[in-house]
Chain A
Amino acid sequence: MTSSLHLWLIPLVPFAGFLVNGLLGRRFPKALVTAIAWIATLIPFLQVLNIALHFSSLTLPYNERVATWITAGNFHADFAFALDQLTLIMLLVVTGVGFLIHLYSAGYMAHEEGYWRFFAYLNLFMFFMLTLVLAENFLLMFVGWEGVGLASYLLIGFYFTKDSAANAGKKAFVVNRIGDFGFLIGMFLLIAHFGTLSFDGIFSQIAQHPEWQGGFLTAIALFLALGATGKSAQIPLYVWLPDAMEGPTPVSALIHAATMVTAGVYMIARAHAIFDRSPFALSTVAIIGAATALFAATIGLVQTDIKRVLAYSTVSQLGYMFLACGVAAYSAGIFHLLTHAFFKALLFLAAGSVIHALSGEQDMRVMGGLRKKIPVTFWTMTAAVFAIAGFPPFAGFFSKDEILYQAFISPNPVGKIVWFVGLLTAGLTSFYMFRLWYLTFFGKSRADQAAAHTPEPGHHAEKEEHKHPVHESPWIMLAPLVILAILSVIGGWVGVPAALGGHNEIEHFLSPVMHAQHLSFEQVSVAMSTQQQAVVPAAEAPEGNKSLELLLAVVSVATALIGWFIAHLMYFAKPELPAQIAAKVRGLYSLLLNKYWIDELYGAVIITPVLFLSRYVLKGLFDTGVITGGGLALGYATQGIGSLVQRVQSGNIRSYAGWLALGAAALLLLTYFGFGTHLSF
């Protein structure tokens, strides 16, 4: 089928919503603002659904060139969108979850000041995210990439009056810029080597040159991976995500769980042709993913703020997706991205519902016993907890299991190690999620203890009002919870592996996009590490490994059960236990509670020196020190140094002239002695 799909409408409609609400929303009644924002996300969702229904009749990949963008010499980039299986899954996630969260937000943000502003930003985010997903070249993708960062910055800092929110927004922005440099340099290298940024152009060139292995492709892949670590909150750039929880909860659900943070994973999957040629880059990605998964899970064990637990859990789950990409199991990574979008969005929204019910309280230590009071929230959250902990038949089980299985059988030398780390993390995940579950919903309400310690300043305007009794959220908030809960249960069934009698539809569905990778990866791994030949790759002989896959599944479920059991013991059966343990291993406990002091370390190693340089070295040395030196040479040595510094302070024209003269002298000397060749009179 060749008729136009008008893909450009998909991002443009939310943008129109942003414009209308952003420019005029202040004067609109709330109902109108809500309606505009909803429609602006509903239309793209319906369009994507429509495409999905006709998907089998399309010729793929489908490219749509909207306009010529820039032509600079040989370099050429278009406003062009592309559609293939990978794009479709991402589109469904972004528009589907995005729409549900728009619904939810109408309830959650109902009492907030700047309601119109919030929805305008949310639509802006949708615009950039859809641009990112639909882009047919790296440059347009980068536009979306930066744009979602900007929208996220605006939304994290939505409560601009709060310093912590403003700072968190700034931190997210600055840290993300570091990742963006990686992306940018990666793009520059792509231009330098391929002369184009179009996916089609680059990947087809790579396909034509099987002899290109490692080398510059490794460099490109590593820079792109650096970009991905920034956006997907991986080590070493994960620090911004936990702080980003300062934003309103629906924002955390949409941007910092379901969509934006997965952009890094999407980018790696999209660029898999490059990664496939570089076993080193792949291993790096796998190790980063595994390390992040474990690291963030350990921090999650002891956090007390419900949203922070979820934040670290997100970092950890993103680590899984990275791990999957690192062992070249991109389909598994995207599968986990899909299921994670359901259950993590649900977890955040349910947490938001809890927070809403408790008038803004986020500390789990003062929750408890909420099971009866907010039953819908409880049951939906239960589905999500079981899904993330990896119990069959919930969604998370299938995707996580697929990743672990692929890691185990990967020919990559780090495969077994990352499998083990992933398994360990699965146990930890199960533990901290059930900890959250028990602390929030079981036992007796500890709300009366709340008087003992003051809760953190509210993320919620209701906080400023007096507290009202615990109440279930309105249906506009609960409906998305229920839908997501259903998806968290059944969402994984699209990827039931052969070992459990399924067909792993999602892998087959994605295989046209990911196809090239299996062959070439094997070629590479054969070429690079001959000792690994003995391992039989999964894609070629899935039948032979059914029993292995089953065994691995049993092991991971058992691990999850152990995690649950310990959590049950510590937070339900013997609630006094955690304090005792914490007292026993005080050092470890405080290490975890303080998140390994990474923020402090970054502060000490990076931020302080920069500020120091700015304040003392530049101001002191350049504006006074150099001049002092120049002045000395000019015969002021007879006067006391102190009075000299005082008198020849900056702001003084002569000292400026001295600085100029010194610069001129340096330049002339460098010219004369420093560079260049044969001088002659």
Chain B
Amino acid sequence: MTDVAQVFRILPEVILTITGVLIMLGEPLLAKNASRKPLGWLAVLGTLAALFASFWQLQLPAGTAYFGTVQTDAFSVFFHVLIAGIVLVTLLVTLDAAGRDAESLGELFALMCFGAVGMMLMSCATELLLVFVGLEISSISTYIMAAFRRKSAKGPESAIKYFLLGSFATAFFLYGIALIFGATGTTDIPQIAGLLSTSQVPVFGVIGMAMILIGIGFKVSAVPFQVWAPDVYEGAPSPVVGLMSTAPKAAAFAVLLRVLYTALPALHSHWQPLIWWMAALSMTFGNLGALRQQNIKRMLAYSSIAHAGYLLVAFTALSPDGIAAASFYAASYAVMNVGAFAVISHAGGMDDRLTLIQDYRGLAYRSPLLGGALAFFLISLIGIPFTGGFFGKFYVFASALHSGLVWLTIIGLVNSGIAVYYYLRPLVSVYSKPVHSDLLDGIPRVTVPLMFALLITIAGTLILGIVPGRVLALAKAGALTLQSTVSDTTTAVK
């Protein structure tokens, strides 16, 4: 591949970067009180272009570019499409919610684009240096987005918590990379695999692996690194929460999959038990914590901890099926959670007027579309058939059981039973007769961008729940590319 043609390997990233820069340049040109919506539509266009570019990358032969730092394959395309889709929906939701509370919105749109670039780099990087840079691009963007409501009391608090704890965890992650570098003399992911053998495991390698797990564990809010999630979710604006509870997590899971399965399969006897425990604790902590929450965003924060746990279950399966199940679950969780936050964002606006679960009482009577959509996403989060949530859980637990993880499966199923209890509360609330409807009266009409956002997420949830074949096939192809990179060490895994 020629030097110029290499750019096709990072085409979606390039498109989004250009879009972000254009928005930054356009912002000062607009009059102070002018609507920022054109910038938002520009971002939507850029994201759409990136989405198609990602799909187009499927036609490229799988391979690397830029001295082996990025790799385009089915795996990277899967996560690129997912991230672009999440950002697209979030942009639409922000366009909708921001109509009323517009302030420095241009920055927000640009940050979403830049954040997406970072996440996409994470999912295609095959060099730990690039993983780190991508992680930081995405993290720094989300830190700023969390602080978007900077005049409110909760906004900056949420941001400072996220920022300080996030940097704290990043330092661990970085230390882990340094130790892996010390153990192998390289930071190139495929090369690391070749330099580590199962018989002689260097202690730096193992500790480095654990440190990387700490850093990624934080990003995906897995127990015991979940503390930040509820506070940050509560304080950040709802559209941003929808984004940061899904896209950076998906990217972090992609990194974890690549690092564990491509770089460190030799250490699987060390990391598998750790992930087992993280999965079990995350599911249990998240679900029990969510039981008593009154604030809907905090409830969904705890639920996202639990979902991270379900996803980690698939990691412990140590099989291509497990990898595919993890990717699939990331997609199905993202679609339904972003959808739920789309409704919450519209109902509450950027400044969270509806915070408590009981505030949603009677939403379905006030607006059947919003109420029905929220109920639908909750049903999917529970995991009822015909929704993506069901098949996600189904594949995860089927792959875990296939690998003989009986206890983890039982813990997971018991947990998804507990989860029914708290998801039903908002569900009942939405369909109850309204008590104080002045809150609901403040909900504006459903706008065109929100309609698109809901359409995409509902259709996505249904497609994943009814005809998951194609998505699953892509996830499976991705899983196989991860494995083929390490074909010489796969025997160590199984």
Q: Which residues of A contact B (CB under 8 A)?
A: 26, 68-73, 75, 142-143, 146-147, 150, 157, 160-161, 166, 169-170, 173-174, 177-178, 181, 184-185, 188-189, 191-192, 610-611, 613-615, 618-619, 622-623, 651, 653, 656-657, 659-660, 662-664, 666-668, 670-672, 674-681
Contacts and interface: CB of A to CB of B under 8 A. Distances in A.
Interface residues of B, number: 75
Given A72-B476, A615-B292, A656 B227 contact: yes
A618 B379 contact: no
B326 to A, nearest CB: 13
By CB atoms of chain B within 10 A, which of A174, A185, A657, A660 has the most?
A660
Nearest to B412: A181
A347 B227 CA distance: 55
Contacts of B231: 651
Interface string B244-269: 00000000000000000000000101
Contact of B397 (A146, A157, A184, A653): A184
Interface stretch (B66-74, B428-436, B447-455): B428-436
Contacts of A147: 384-386
A675 B275 CA distance: 12
Contacts of A169: 428
A174 B469 contact: no
A613 B418 CA distance: 12
B288 A614 contact: yes
Contact of A667 (B161, B274, B472): B274
Contact of B421 (A174, A191, A653): A174
Contact of A679 (B206, B368, B472): B206
Interface stretch (B35-43, B120-128, B162-170, B482-490): B162-170
Given A70-B468, A181-B417, A663-B224, A160 B292 contact: no
B288 A188 contact: no
Given A160-B433, A177-B417, A675 B274 contact: yes
Nearest to B278: A667
Given A161-B433, A663-B225, A676-B270, A185 B168 contact: no
Contacts of B401: 185, 188-189, 192
Contact of A160 (B267, B285, B420, B431): B431
Given A71-B469, A659-B224, A663-B214, A178 B397 contact: no
Interface in B153-204: 160-161, 164-165, 168-169, 172, 199-204
21 contacts: A26-B368, A70-B467, A72-B472, A73-B320, A169-B428, A177-B420, A184-B413, A614-B288, A657-B165, A660-B169, A664-B172, A664-B214, A664-B225, A668-B207, A670-B273, A671-B209, A672-B207, A674-B273, A675-B269, A675-B274, A679-B203
B146 interface: no
B274 A671 contact: yes
B8 interface: no
A56 to B, nearest CB: 35
A70 B391 CA distance: 10
A622 B476 contact: no
Nearest to B272: A675
Nearest to A181: B413
A611 B269 contact: no
Contacts of A675: 269-270, 273-274
Contacts of A178: 417
A668 B210 contact: yes
Contact of B207 (A177, A618, A666, A671): A671
A633 B165 CA distance: 20
Given A150-B379, A157-B428, A618-B285, A143 B201 contact: no
A656 B277 CA distance: 20
Question: Which of A26, A160, A166, A191 has most chain B Cβ within 10 Å?
Answer: A160
Contacts of B210: 667-668, 671
A69 B428 contact: no
A157 B425 CA distance: 13
Contacts of A668: 207, 210-211
A582 B352 CA distance: 58
Given A671-B270, A675-B274, A677-B201, A656 B292 contact: no
Contacts of A623: 227
A592 B418 CA distance: 30
B11 interface: no
A73 B225 contact: no
B267 to A, nearest CB: 7
B200 A660 contact: no
B292 A680 contact: no
B32 to A, nearest CB: 35
Contacts of A177: 416-417, 420
Interface of B: 160-161, 164-165, 168-169, 172, 199-204, 206-207, 209-211, 213-214, 217-218, 223-225, 227-228, 231, 267, 269-270, 273-274, 277, 285, 288-289, 291-292, 320-321, 324, 368, 379, 384-386, 390-391, 394-395, 397-398, 401-402, 409-410, 413-414, 416-418, 420-421, 424, 428, 431-433, 467-469, 472-473, 476
Nearest to A180: B417
Given A72-B472, A675-B270, 4 more contacts: A142-B385, A653-B165, A677-B269, A680-B202
Interface core residue of A72, A659, A674 (most chain B CB under 10 Å)? A72
A610 B418 contact: yes
Contacts of A181: 413-414, 417
A679 to B, nearest CB: 5
Nearest to A659: B227
A173 to B, nearest CB: 6
A670 B420 contact: no
Given A166-B428, A651-B231, A668-B207, A72 B395 contact: yes
A615 B290 CA distance: 10
A160 B397 contact: no
A169 B424 CA distance: 10
A530 to B, nearest CB: 34
A651 B158 CA distance: 10
B220 to A, nearest CB: 13
Contact of A166 (B199, B321, B432, B467): B432
B385 A143 contact: yes
B472 A70 contact: yes
Nearest to A626: B224
A173 B368 CA distance: 23
A344 B223 CA distance: 51
B235 to A, nearest CB: 11
B428 A614 contact: no
Contact of A173 (B285, B424, B469, B472): B424
A143 B414 contact: no
B225 A618 contact: no
Nearest to B430: A160
Given A72-B472, A610-B418, A681 B203 contact: yes
A184 B413 CA distance: 9
Given A150-B379, A184-B413, A71 B165 contact: no
B201 A656 contact: no
Nearest to A67: B467
Contacts of A173: 420, 424
Nearest to A651: B231
Contacts of B288: 610, 613-614, 618
Contacts of B410: 185
A660 B292 contact: no
Contact of A174 (B199, B209, B409, B417): B417
Contacts of B211: 664, 668
Contacts of B217: 663, 667
Nearest to B433: A161
A677 B267 CA distance: 9
A192 to B, nearest CB: 6
A613 B285 CA distance: 10
B136 to A, nearest CB: 18
Contact of B227 (A660, A671, A674, A676): A660
B274 A71 contact: no
A623 B302 CA distance: 14
A592 B397 CA distance: 41
